Chains A and B, each alone.
Chain A
């Protein structure tokens, strides 16, 4: 007490105040440093986010355009059906020598000497080998084209495609390039005459797996993913909502419900690959379901999504104020009526948001699908969830393992498509939350 009064009086007397050195400068410097650590941590996170997205987009946006070469193909009867037996035996059309048609068209358009085999081979190498199937499909669809000359837009070979998009380093020595100078001159020639054009790559969205990058697409994989997502929604939404209603509204507090609770929280954090092992052992090995089928994938993803949906639904149910329940019960509704007629509709936006987020997670899941054999080379659209199919992320995984450079572009393109789906779903969830969220 006396100390304080004496110091106050000495202050008044005008003597210099004796500040205790509490290191304020040092402490403020520490404060600034601490703040900078925080800012830089956030910046590091954002930097990696943008690098990642940049990598994907800069590699992938070119996948949406595809170089096509439109050639006047002469469907000569001599090559396709020399013995004129297509009316009696349509299978000749299946096995006809279509590459010759392409070769002849290239010889004509580039004015090459047909006898110069090396040159002819270089020219035909510029067209994707998938042209064979393309021409076959044209003829099969309409056999009357035989004998006529029709303009057909053929896919350019992957290296020509890359060169046309300016992705080939032309300073590299010709021998080490996948595309030589002769072909480059031809490309200029074709480009000037309007034969070679860049078109929107619809094949990326419709095609299936192919060993040729230019002919491969994600259409088949996307259908497999769609089947699985339908199964996930149809199964996990009702089961998840039912389970959460029981746990949140009815379950007595005992060891059994505690066990379920711990279980669900744990299942939400179990590595996804473990679910793949479960699917392999139970659904395929024990129950004898077909391998690689979207049905099994859907079931595995359902089990994975359930905890997410249950946790979200329980939070949504919890957020409905007790006054609603009390009012309904007071008017004579049974507990079941209260929940199904009043609580559940009010919780619906939260439940739907949780479901969308859960399904979006399931859409990006790869590891469990690999284990149940969905890493398959699937060329045709699966007709039902029981048929072998693959999924969008698994297709990305398979392409990522391919050595060819053009597949990097395809992979990034597929990732862009996958991310677009995820963004749409998450935006939907956010909008739903904004639109219907109620604060009580």
Chain B
């Protein structure tokens, strides 16, 4: 019986359990519901929980554990000639055996007989059925494949029986416990609470998953490339991962990528911060409700546009525009019509990223400025300061910590932005200061290294994880510090 069918049956069992529990509680109450501790629904749910949850847990544990156990049995049945060749060969043989086991099931009895007696070539027979084998089938592998099939079938049968037995036993046990004074509601609510806790720990698990997976891949990367030459290397030249040529590893210097990332983020911030901040100040302090009510949502549209659209905008409009205008400018000044801004450049990427960041700066700062207490404004205005003086001397200093927090959050977004830089910044990893030339970023290189066919053993692929964890750590510090500042600021004025 396949797994989804088993799950379906367990759910049906749960439904039956629910109805039974409910009816039983009704019958023992003798029509007087107030005699029961809980409402009948809870008795039903209690039985359903006992029928479904233990059996599902067993099912999942079995599904994970059984293949591991069967693999280890099969592995130990291999002849010593295979086992002595190291774990890589053993794993390869195991993989072939497993796909062979899948293929054998498709064969008729005669074909299988022919393969076993050696009159037919199993590999060719299986290939004709659409099951490719990595290597020639050897007699011991056919045997192993057959015992693999037998073991899997037994395991599956046993699993079905055990899971159903647990479900039925659980339901039976729960029905037996139902009584007038039985606190079904409290029991059910405890299970629900456990579910709630489980759900909220997924956030933690995600972070653990991010850090754990990236750390393990990064340590593998550092086994082939020393950490020192990654973090302090100034040349990025990973070469291509050629099969069998692992020794010609390239150079993986982080510095040029980091420089590009920070440079582009700086250009973006230089553009977004004044525009966003002034927009926020105007909307918070000057604008009439109508202007505010239209301008704020319009600017926030910018935040809702997917970044790939910004990338396209940079590629099709902004990049060519900057290139052409630089050609014209150069021509007017020197008479030499050559562009000095490349279509893909730090400036293009930074400018477009800046447009994307405007709404982040403006709505975060807007929230913070409006939180400054009314009394401070009134005090300053009452003393005869103009509005702009009030803003510059009173409101902004009071809001400064919050605004700094908002800007740090924005900076973290700029550092981690991917699609705009992929399309607008270029792929050349260079250390230079000219904003009109292309540079590349950490995120671009992660995308580059992981597009196409992957081999999870080459440093060319693994370096993406080292880059990823660098990025994660940078943004983590920015975020946590920013969140700390913003939270503290909020407490100050609440």
B-contacting residues of A (Cβ < 8 Å)? 27-28, 30-31, 33-35, 37-42, 44-46, 48-49, 51-52, 55-56, 59, 238-240, 242-247, 250-251, 259-260, 262-267, 269-275, 277-278, 280-282, 285-286, 303, 306-307, 310, 334-336, 360-361, 363-367, 370-371, 375, 393, 396-397, 400-401, 408, 411-412, 415, 418-419, 422, 426
Contact = CB atoms under 8 A, between A and B. Distances in A.
B419 A269 contact: no
Given A310-B203, A336-B189, A365-B306, A269 B213 contact: no
Contacts of A303: 206
Nearest to B358: A45
Contacts of A41: 274-279, 282
B196 A263 contact: no
11 contacts: A31-B389, A37-B278, A40-B278, A239-B199, A266-B479, A270-B476, A272-B418, A278-B213, A306-B206, A334-B185, A367-B447
B145 interface: no
A338 B333 CA distance: 75
Interface in B87-138: none
Interface of B: 185-186, 189, 192-193, 195-204, 206-207, 209-210, 213-214, 216-217, 274-279, 281-283, 286, 295, 298-299, 301-302, 304-313, 315-317, 355, 358-359, 362, 386-389, 391-392, 409, 412-413, 415-419, 422-423, 443, 446-447, 450-451, 456, 464-465, 468, 471-472, 475-476, 479-480, 483
A266 B298 CA distance: 27
Contacts, number: 252
A415 B310 CA distance: 11
Nearest to B217: A281
Tell which of A37, A274, A363, A375 has the most Cβ of chain B within 10 Å: A274
Contact of B312 (A38, A239, A334, A400): A400
Contacts of A49: 298-299, 301-302
A267 B206 contact: yes
Chain A interface SS verdict (over half) = helix
A342 to B, nearest CB: 15
A176 B295 CA distance: 46
A281 B193 CA distance: 31
Given A41-B282, A271-B415, A282-B209, A306 B203 contact: yes
Contacts of A401: 423
Contact of A360 (B210, B304, B479): B304
A155 to B, nearest CB: 24
A37 B285 CA distance: 13
B308 A396 contact: yes
A56 B202 CA distance: 39
A35 B388 contact: yes
Nearest to A27: B386
Contacts of A426: 304
Given A274-B472, A336-B193, A367-B447, 10 more contacts: A28-B386, A38-B286, A42-B278, A52-B309, A243-B196, A270-B472, A364-B306, A396-B308, A415-B309, A422-B304
A415 B201 CA distance: 37
B475 A270 contact: yes
Nearest to A242: B199
A260 B206 CA distance: 11
Contact of A277 (B196, B201, B392, B446): B446
B370 to A, nearest CB: 15
Describe B's contact surface by its main secondary structure. Answer: helix
Contact of A366 (B197, B203, B306, B471): B306
Contacts of B204: 259-260, 263
Nearest to A396: B308
Contacts of B468: 273-274, 277
Query: Which 9 A/B pairs are nearest by Cβ-Cβ distance?
Result: A271-B416, A38-B282, A364-B306, A41-B278, A281-B213, A242-B199, A34-B388, A246-B196, A243-B200
A51 B282 contact: no
B327 to A, nearest CB: 19
Contacts of A260: 200-201, 203-204
A35 B286 contact: yes
Nearest to B302: A49
B135 to A, nearest CB: 21
Contacts of B275: 41, 44-45
Contact of B471 (A46, A273, A415): A273
B233 to A, nearest CB: 21
B451 A370 contact: yes
Nearest to B414: A271
A52 B305 contact: yes
B367 to A, nearest CB: 13
A277 B216 CA distance: 12
A310 B204 CA distance: 13
A59 B320 CA distance: 15
Contacts of A246: 193, 196-197, 199-200
Select the residue from B199, B317, B416, B479 with max chain A CB neighbours within 10 A. B199
A367 B450 CA distance: 11
B302 A367 contact: no
Given A274-B472, A277-B468, A303-B206, A251 B200 contact: yes
Contacts of B209: 278, 282
Contacts of B465: 277, 281
A55 B200 contact: no
A40 B276 CA distance: 11
Nearest to B456: A285
A59 B210 contact: no
Contacts of B274: 41
A271 B417 contact: yes
A269 B479 contact: yes
A272 B282 contact: no
Given A34-B391, A273-B447, A274-B471, A366 B210 contact: no
B483 A265 contact: yes
A42 B295 contact: yes
A336 B279 CA distance: 45
A415 B299 contact: no
Nearest to B487: A265
Given A243-B196, A277-B464, A46 B202 contact: no
Given A273-B416, A274-B471, A393 B306 contact: yes
A167 to B, nearest CB: 14
A120 to B, nearest CB: 36
A272 B419 CA distance: 10
A107 B277 CA distance: 66
Contacts of A306: 202-203, 206
B419 A367 contact: yes
Nearest to A32: B388
Contact of A262 (B299, B302, B483): B483
Contacts of B307: 364, 366-367
Contact of B210 (A38, A278, A371, A418): A278
A284 to B, nearest CB: 9
A42 B283 contact: yes
Contact of A59 (B202, B277, B316): B316
B199 A243 contact: yes
Contacts of A45: 275-276, 279, 299, 302, 355, 358-359, 362
